[in-house]
């Protein structure tokens, strides 16, 4: 069981993020990777691409409901939901899940932004929102891993605008303030989870390496945070909590010889 301590919460509030190494086992990570590679799976069903500022394609698969699949099992896993509750300081609702496919030699960049830069325009009143970023492949500087500005969540919301098909932070403002924050390169082993605040500034470079960088990001909203939008993207129902073995139940069963 990998649950955060009071010291972890203090560090999270100071920095805007915290790593939990090996929160998911190699077996659990492999089950998620197998679903990505399944042409009939949810990831391929919801797959689309967004152009970065240079015109390269950044592939993403995103959904807003919990279905009967491995991604719902991971999203509602007690090691995820209970840690989100600990860091948020209150109960939370599932907002959405997304798989990022930064493929070898082709994956595009994600521009500097705050997640709340997107979500503010979706009508959420407060930035009481956060994400759990699950590394499924080794994430390295060479294959375009996440980079964050430590403590930048304390800035509040920056102005955002269109950059390619993405939403990016105001670069003039970003260049002015970046000297005040340490840039952290988030190299991660598979199964490691980065919990981070919706106001934390982050980016990732294109993947010019020979190795994929695939990841799963689960986003949550505090129950106290309403959304001013007729067609709401997030319910205000508490996120359900699954069981410790919920992901393992989706392991592919080996074929029986002669059947």
Per domain, the residue ranges of the chain are: 9-224+245-250
Choose which CATH entry (2.60.120.620, 1.10.3720.10, 3.30.70.1880, 2.40.50.140) describes domain 9-224+245-250. 2.60.120.620
Q: What is the mean pLDDT of residues 85-91?
A: 97
The pLDDT confidence band at residue 148, using thresholds 50, 70 and 90, is: very high
The pLDDT confidence band at residue 42, using thresholds 50, 70 and 90, is: confident
pTM of the shown model: 0.92
Of the chain, the percentage scoring pLDDT greater than 90 comes to 74
Q: What is the mean pLDDT of residues 194-216?
A: 95
Say if CB 76 and CB 242 are below 8 A apart.
yes
**Mean pLDDT rounded to a whole number for the chain:** 91
54 pLDDT more than 70:
no
259 pLDDT more than 50:
no
HSE-CB for 13 with a 13 A CA cutoff: 11
3-state class (DSSP) for residue 248: helix
Please report, for residues 34, 60, 98, 258, the alpha-carbon distance to residue 255 in angstroms, rounded to integers and kept in the order given.
15, 31, 30, 9
d(CA 205, CA 208): 9
Please report, for residues 44, 140, 148, 159, 223, the alpha-carbon distance to residue 250 in angstroms, rounded to integers and kept in the order given.
17, 28, 33, 42, 29
């Amino acid at each position: 069981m990998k649950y955060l301590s009071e010291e972890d919460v203090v560090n999270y509030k100071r920095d805007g993020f915290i790593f939990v190494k090996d929160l998911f086992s190699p077996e659990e990570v492999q089950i998620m990777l197998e679903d990505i590679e399944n042409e009939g799976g949810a990831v391929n069903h919801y797959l689309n691409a967004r152009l970065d500022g240079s015109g390269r394609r950044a592939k993403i698969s995103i959904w807003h409901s919990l279905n009967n699949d491995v991604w719902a099992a991971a999203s509602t896993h007690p090691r995820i939901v209970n840690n989100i509750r600990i860091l948020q300081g209150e109960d939370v609702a599932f907002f959405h899940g997304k798989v990022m496919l930064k493929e070898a030699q082709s994956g595009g960049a994600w521009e500097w932004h705050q997640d709340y830069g997107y979500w503010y325009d979706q009508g959420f009143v407060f930035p009481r929102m956060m994400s759990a970023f699950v590394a499924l492949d080794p994430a390295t500087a060479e294959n375009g891993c996440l980079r964050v500005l430590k403590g930048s969540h304390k800035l509040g919301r920056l102005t955002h605008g269109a950059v390619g098909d993405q939403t990016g932070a105001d670069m003039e403002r970003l260049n002015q303030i970046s000297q005040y924050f340490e840039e952290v390169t988030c190299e991660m082993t598979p199964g490691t989870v980065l919990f981070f605040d919706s106001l934390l500034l982050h980016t990732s470079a294109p993947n010019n390496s020979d190795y994929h960088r695939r990841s799963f990001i689960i986003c949550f909203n505090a129950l106290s945070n309403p959304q001013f939008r007729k067609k709401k993207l997030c319910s205000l129902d508490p996120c359900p909590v699954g069981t410790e073995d919920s992901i393992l139940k989706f392991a592919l069963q080996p074929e029986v010889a002669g059947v």
